[in-house]
Structure 1
Amino acid sequence: MTALKGRDIERFLEKPDISSGFVLVYGPDLGLVGENAGRLVRQFAGNPPDPESFTTLHMSEIDADPQRLGILARSPSLFGGGTTIRVRGATNKLAPVLAELLDEKAEAIIIVEGGDLKPSDALRKAAEARRDARALPCYADNGQTLDALIRDTFAKAQINLEADLVGFLRDMLGNDRQVTRQELEKLVLFAGNGGTLTRQDVIALCGDNAALATDSVVDAIASGHARKFDESITRVTSAGTDIQRLLIVTQQHFSRLRTMRAEIDAGSSTDHVVGRATPRIHFSRKASVEQQLRLWNDDGLAAACNRLSTAIADSRKTGPLAAAIGRQAMLAVCLAAARR
C-alpha cells in the first residue's frame, strides 16, 4: 500500500522516494492540495520549474485531447532527465490513462490533483495499489497543524508576536489552507522581517469588519446592553447593512444559543459547550457567549426566537416599515435580557 499518512506525508514532500510514476494529491482542503502539489513540482522540476521539462494540464484539456497527456509523458526532455506533468482538477476518467502510461514505464512523474475522493474512486484505488504511485491525502487543518503553520511562518520572517496571538489568530483564520496562507502572507508583509504583530494588527488586517460589527449588535442584544445595542446598530445600518439581514443573523444566534443551552441543561459545562461549538465561536466572543448562556433559559430563548421570527415575517410584508419593525423587535429582546 502506498497511501501516506501523518509524518510520512511531510517526509515524502521533503524528499520523494520515487523518480517516475504518479502522485495523487487529494482531499477536501483544495488549498492544501494545491500547496502540496506545488511543493512536489519544485522537488521534481526545480524551483522555479524548468519550462523545458515541466507542463501543467487541466483535466478539461485532457478531455478535449485524450492523447495529449500520453504524448507529453512519452516525450523525453530536451536536456535529458525525466518529464514532470501536473494535472489539475483530475477526475476518475484519468485512471486508465495513467495505468497505461505506468505500465509502459514512461520516464515521467505525473502529479495529479484530485478532490475529496472516496476509497472506491478509481484514482485513489490506483494510487494506493501501485508501487510506482503515492497517495497524499490533504485534510483541513486542525488546531495543532494550524498553530504550527502560524509559528513557522512568523519564525521564518523573525516576526515577534504579542502574547497569546497564535491562539487568537488560529480562531480568526478558518481551516482552508489557501485562505490561511494568504492571510499569513498579508501579515508578514505588514510587519516586515524582524517586525512585531499585535492583536489589533490582526483584527485590522484579517478580521471581517462587517461580520465583527454584526456580531457586536447580536452580542449586545443577547447580553442586555441597550446602549451598546443602540450604538452598534446605528453604526452597522449606517454602513449599509440591511435590517432584515440583522434580524436573520440575530434569530440564528438565538436558535444556536437554545441548542447550546439544551446541552448545558443535559449536564455539559458551559465552557465545554462553547469550546466545541461548530462553527467555532470567535476567540473574542467566547466570554460574551458564555455570559449569554448563563442569562437565558430555554423558555426565554424560545420566546426570543418567536419574537424575532415574527419580526422577520412582518418586515418582509411592509417594506417601508422594515427598519422600525426590526429595530423594535431587537430592542425588545435586548430589554428582556437586561431584566434577567
Structure 2
Amino acid sequence: MTALKAHEVARYLARPDLSEGIFLAYGPDGGLVRETAQRLIRHLSGDDPASANVTIFDGPELTADPSQLVLEARSVSLFGGKRIIRVRNATKALVMPLTELRDDPGGTAIVLEADNLPPRATLRALVEAAKLGRALPCYPDTDETLMALMRETFNHAGIRTDQDVVPTLREILGNDREVTRRELEKLTLYAAATKSLTREDVLLLCADNGALAIDAILDATGGGHTEKLELALNRALAANVNPQQLLSMLTTHFANLRRWRTEVDGGKTPRSVLDAVKPKPHFSRIGGMEQQLRLWNETALGTASERLLQAVSDTRRRPALADAILRRTTLSLCMMAATF
C-alpha cells in the first residue's frame, strides 16, 4: 500500500517508481492536479515523448460505458511506444474497470485526475491499496512552496531578479498552481532577452492595473506628488474607473489617515500604527503612508475631509463634471501636502 503525502509528490514526480499501473492525481487545486498529471505523463513517455501512445478520456464519457477503459488498456498499440491513458474528471464509476486492471495493467499507465477525495472514497482507496497504484494528493500551495517554485523557475531560465520580485509576485497571485505557472511563463518570456526582472516588470505584467492606479492616486494625493498623481489619474480614468468611486476611496483614505494620526499624536510611531492596521497595506505602500502621517496634522486632515465630502456631493449633483471635479479636488489636496 502506497499513500504519498502532499509534500512528497514533487519528489515522486522527479523519479516515479512505476512505469505501469494506476496513478491518481486528486485534490482541491484543479490547476495543480492537471500539472501533476502532465508532469507524470511526460516522465512516463520516456526519452521520446512523440512515440508515446497517449489516449485521453473525459470522466462522463467513460461513465456511460466504463468498459471502454479496459478495451483501450488491453488494445495493442499500432505504432508501438508507451501506452498511456489519461482520464480527466475521474469518478467512482471507474472502480469496476480499474479493479479488473489493478493487478495486470498489461504495461499500460493509467493516469486519473479527480477532485478532492476523502480517505474512504472508493476510487482513492482502490488506488492506494493496489500494488501497481500510486495516489498523488494535490493541495493548495503554501507561501513557501509557491515562492520556491518562482525562484526555481527564474533560476532555471537564468533570469536575475531584484530582491522584491518574488515577494511582490506572491502578493499578486493566488494559490492556483495553473495560474501561477501561466504568469511565470509570461514573465520568463518577457525577460528572455534581458535575463533580468524588476518589481516594476511584475506590476506591469501581472497586477491589476486599475487597482494599482487607485493606490497610486491615494498615495500621490496624500504625499504631494503632482506628476505621479496626473499619471495615475490618466491611467485610472482610461481604465473606466468611476470618478465617484475614486472620490469615495479618497474620502476613506483621508479618514483613515485622520484616525491613525490621532494615535501618532498620542505617542506612537507611524510605523507601529501601520503595522497594527488590518488588513495590512501592501508592503510597497508602507513608506509612502508613513510620510503622509508625518505630513498631515489633525487640522489639515479635517480640511481635506471637508473638501472631499463636498466633491462627492458636487459629482452627485453634476455627474457630467465628475472627471473635472475629481482632478480639481485631488490636485488641490496634493498641493496642500506639497507645502507642508
Same fold flag (TM > 0.5): yes
Q: CA 1:59/1:230 → structure 2, altered by over 3 Å: closer, same or farther? A: same
Q: Percent identity?
A: 45
Contact 1:183 1:206 in 2 (8 A): yes
Give the secondary-structure state (helix, strand or coil) at the position aligned to 1:76.
Answer: coil
Alignment partner of 1:46 is 2:46: yes
1:191-230 aligned at under 5 Å gives the runs 191-192=191-192, 195-219=195-219, 223=222
* Length-normalised TM-score, structure 1: 0.70
Contact 1:95 1:126 in 2 (8 A): no
Contact 2:26 2:33 in 1 (8 A): yes
1:1-340 aligned at under 5 Å gives the runs 1-46=1-46, 49-50=49-50, 53-78=53-78, 83-90=83-90, 92-103=91-102, 105-107=104-106, 108-192=108-192, 195-219=195-219, 223=222, 232-233=232-233, 235-243=235-243, 246=246, 277=279, 282-288=282-288
**Which amino acid letter does the alignment assign opposite residue 159 of structure 1?**
I
Give the secondary-structure state (helix, strand or coil) at the position aligned to 2:49.
Answer: coil
For residues 210-233 of structure 1, give each alpha carbon's deviation from its aligned partner in whole angstroms, at most 9, with x where no partner exists: 221123235567x58696767744
Contact 2:13 2:40 in 1 (8 A): yes
Contact 1:161 1:198 in 2 (8 A): yes
**Which amino acid letter does the alignment assign opposite residue 32 of structure 1?**
L
RMSD: 4.7
Deviation at 1:121, TM superposition (A): 3.5
Contact 1:87 1:112 in 2 (8 A): yes
**Which amino acid letter does the alignment assign opposite residue 169 of structure 1?**
L
For residues 166-187 of structure 1, give each alpha carbon's deviation from its aligned partner in whole angstroms, at most 9, with x where no partner exists: 3233323333222222222222
Runs of 5+ consecutive residues of structure 1 not aligned to the other structure: 261-268
Q: CA 1:323/1:189 → structure 2, altered by over 3 Å: closer, same or farther? A: closer
Q: CA 1:61/1:253 → structure 2, altered by over 3 Å: closer, same or farther? A: farther
Deviation at 1:13, TM superposition (A): 0.3
Q: CA 1:19/1:249 → structure 2, altered by over 3 Å: closer, same or farther? A: farther
Contact 2:27 2:114 in 1 (8 A): yes
Give the secondary-structure state (helix, strand or coil) at the position aligned to 2:111.
Answer: strand
CA distance in 2 between partners of 1:83 and 1:251 (Å): 64
CA distance in 1 between partners of 2:253 and 2:138 (Å): 32
Runs of 5+ consecutive residues of structure 2 not aligned to the other structure: 261-271
Deviation at 1:240, TM superposition (A): 2.0
Give the secondary-structure state (helix, strand or coil) at the position aligned to 1:86.
Answer: strand
Q: CA 1:245/1:109 → structure 2, altered by over 3 Å: closer, same or farther? A: farther
For residues 104-141 of structure 1, give each alpha carbon's deviation from its aligned partner in whole angstroms, at most 9, with x where no partner exists: 62222211112233344333333334333222122222
For residues 262-311 of structure 1, give each alpha carbon's deviation from its aligned partner in whole angstroms, at most 9, with x where no partner exists: xxxxxxx766656x959xx5442344567789999xxx9xxx9xx99xx7
Deviation at 1:85, TM superposition (A): 0.8
Contact 2:94 2:123 in 1 (8 A): yes
Aligned twin of 1:264: none
CA distance in 2 between partners of 1:39 and 1:255 (Å): 51
Deviation at 1:50, TM superposition (A): 4.4
Give the secondary-structure state (helix, strand or coil) at the position aligned to 1:150.
Answer: helix
Contact 2:86 2:110 in 1 (8 A): yes
Give the secondary-structure state (helix, strand or coil) at the position aligned to 2:135.
Answer: strand
Deviation at 1:94, TM superposition (A): 3.6
**Which amino acid letter does the alignment assign opposite residue 121 of structure 1?**
A
Deviation at 1:332, TM superposition (A): 12
Contact 1:20 1:82 in 2 (8 A): no
Q: CA 1:216/1:164 → structure 2, altered by over 3 Å: closer, same or farther? A: closer
Q: CA 1:159/1:321 → structure 2, altered by over 3 Å: closer, same or farther? A: closer
Contact 2:24 2:112 in 1 (8 A): yes
Deviation at 1:161, TM superposition (A): 2.1
Deviation at 1:59, TM superposition (A): 1.7
Q: CA 1:61/1:6 → structure 2, altered by over 3 Å: closer, same or farther? A: closer
Aligned twin of 1:263: none
Contact 2:223 2:288 in 1 (8 A): no
Structure number with larger C-alpha Rg: 2
Aligned twin of 2:265: none
Is the deviation greater in 192-201 or in 36-45?
192-201
Contact 2:66 2:97 in 1 (8 A): no
Q: CA 1:17/1:197 → structure 2, altered by over 3 Å: closer, same or farther? A: same
